[in-house]
Structure 1
Amino acid sequence: MERSKERELSWLRTIAGELATQTMARLEETLPWYGEMPPSRRSAVGLVAQTGISSFIQWYEDPSATPWIASDVFSVAPRELLRSISLQETLQLIRVVVSVVEERVASRSEELREAILHYSRDVAFAAADVYARAAEARGLWDARLEALVVDSILTGESDDELPSRIAALGWHGAGEAAVLVGTSDRSVDVDQIRRTARHSGADVLVGLQGTRLVLVLGRMAQESKDPHAMPPAQVPFLEIAERLVDFFADGPLVLGPTVENLVSASRSARAALAGIAVARSWRGATRPVGADDLLPERALAGDGLARRTLIEQIYEPLTAHSGELLETLWCYLDNGRSLEATARELFVHPNTVRYRLKKVSEVIGWNATGAREALILQAALIVGSIAQHGAKRPVRAKR
């Protein structure tokens, strides 16, 4: 038996070069992707194939060496080769090598045929293990990089490297972004969060910091083969947030305002975090609630961003448009939102008050006749007046 195996080993070593040559020719004939590779990559693939043949001979000599011999087949490959060919292509490569060896060797003895089958199985498992380890390492690195990017967005400490880090994550966002902040007291199904967001046309970065769950949402690039086709309607971020509610634990859930891109998402994150701190103070808060719907509470809590938002979006536009609108709004809010009392104070008809309030709504987008929006507008008038005149409220001109 030993002599027979020695003869087989000696014969295998003799034809090893021939098998390698036939394998390279077969790769060229049967695998289109191999022929399209640059010379350096083709050389690396060929080296893997030749090592597979040599390792089979060593394995046949000592089957107990399976764990390290099978792994050695892929250890000769440069690291970049694993990134350039897929697991499917690697298995195609193994199939070609095994078929060439089997055609040349299997007919010699039943023992050799069985050896080839066993070895091909071991090498296939080794290939899967190599790719699984690479994927695991990549996954761990991506998770750390994603956590770093989310932390940079939350702290506002973004630097010149943030765009490159975002690109390294494979971010598909290509436009507006918004940050959704809530709590989570259970294991988060990150994959399902990503699927839900992408089904809504958004990419997402996920950050879990203790019990705080942060989702950074961004518009996905919409590719169309027809340049004249109308782009699909974009789902509002608030609606996307509503679809993600079930991934959060009970408690406040705040969506920051929409910003122009992911690099600017720290502004949305600051607003969302400030909103989380005060969301419970509004009994009628929806879930999720927009951070800008909590502007009065945030301003009272000392949030400078909320004060600036109230001034820039409400007070300054009204001041720039017409002092008459600003004065009418002051009177209307001071008189408990009574049209008649406002009209008497301003010596105008109630319909004039209605017209001016409608104009206010057109200028700033908020409707003073609603209780909640009236509170937001009154807060804007107060912080705007303080910023412009100190504690002194503007005095209505005498008629």
Structure 2
Amino acid sequence: MTYLINDNPETQFAPAARLADDLILGQAEQIKQQALIPDLFNILPYIILVLNKERQIIYSNHVLFETLGITSQENLIGLRPGEILNCVHSHETPGGCGTTECCSVCGAVLAILESQQTKAPVAKECLLSAGSAGDTKSFELSVYAAPAGVINGEYTLLIVRDISEEKRRQVFEQVFFHDLLNTSGAVKGFVQIMKESPNLNEVQELSTHATEAVDILIDEINSQRDLIAAENGELKLNLSSFSAKGLVAKLVEFYQNYDTALCPIEIACSEDVILESDIILVRRIVNNMLKNAIEASDEDTDTVTIAVEKKDDYVEFSVTNPQAIPREVQLQIFKRSYSNKGSGRGIGTYSMKLLGEKYLQGYVYFSSNQGTTFVFGVPIRKQ
């Protein structure tokens, strides 16, 4: 440990001070002397931690050892939960887990602090991005923090359960099936009108719209398949040459033709650039940016602007709308399963980051102050 209990390191959220090594080891020994506790905790199929007031681990059960592939509890004593789970934010500040601005929206930190303050059990969900830059994995965790009343001392019991598969199934059922039903309903509507129309020209026009709706349906199915393959590291790219300006124009035309955009959309493209990349993935990312901007806009007063600009060896697609994103939402915007649109959403921005950076070797970021701009930069030539 580098900090003593009376140190006061800088923090952007939770207290950063830690206990000295000898005090930590003394607390850990106290847990070992509680004969029933290790035996009881080791028969449960969840990660179970005992934390001190400084949120440092003084005990962990065997499930954690198996999850992390370690053999000695001594390697964990004194660390905080985000540090052992390799949270991407746990090493951003000297204070470690709990001390960054992003920690202010972490379900695990919030549950621990609330339980310590109220002396009552607290259950929350934690959206965890683990790993290092360029190689991160997303997890959805259920965390339960409660005073450890069976142990002498001011300790907190933390139980962690991985609910990632449950969340993925929920998103699949609520988002994917919902979109499929909507699109297939549109196809059925077009076909029904075609059956009843005596006008050949109208039938031809409707058949074109029906074909486009079927294409959207197929793309939605493929997008889910590709996302699963991307998370498993199995996604294969299909490279081709295409016009950046042409891609944007077709997307905007779709929204305008189907009246799905109730606010005006402006295109700002000073020059066209021919890309060599995976057009399906590029279009999917740009479409997500455009769709989110439209949904966030006021249909009566806002205008969404989509732009294309060459930046050195990259092409930048940017989408801007006049609405600002609340800071609490900004801190979680790229986390899987997080959405401010309701339960069962939250894969759009996550997939943009995963596909755009890991597979297309580009970059995805946003800024939000007076308005909000999402930017996706993609190499002109994919290596």
Task: Specify if TM > 0.5.
Answer: no
* Greater relative contact order, per chain length (Cα 8 Å cut-off, separation 6+): 2
Q: Which has the larger radius of gyration?
A: 1
Whose strand proportion is higher, 1 or 2?
2
TM superposition score normalised by structure 2 = 0.23
Whose helix proportion is higher, 1 or 2?
1
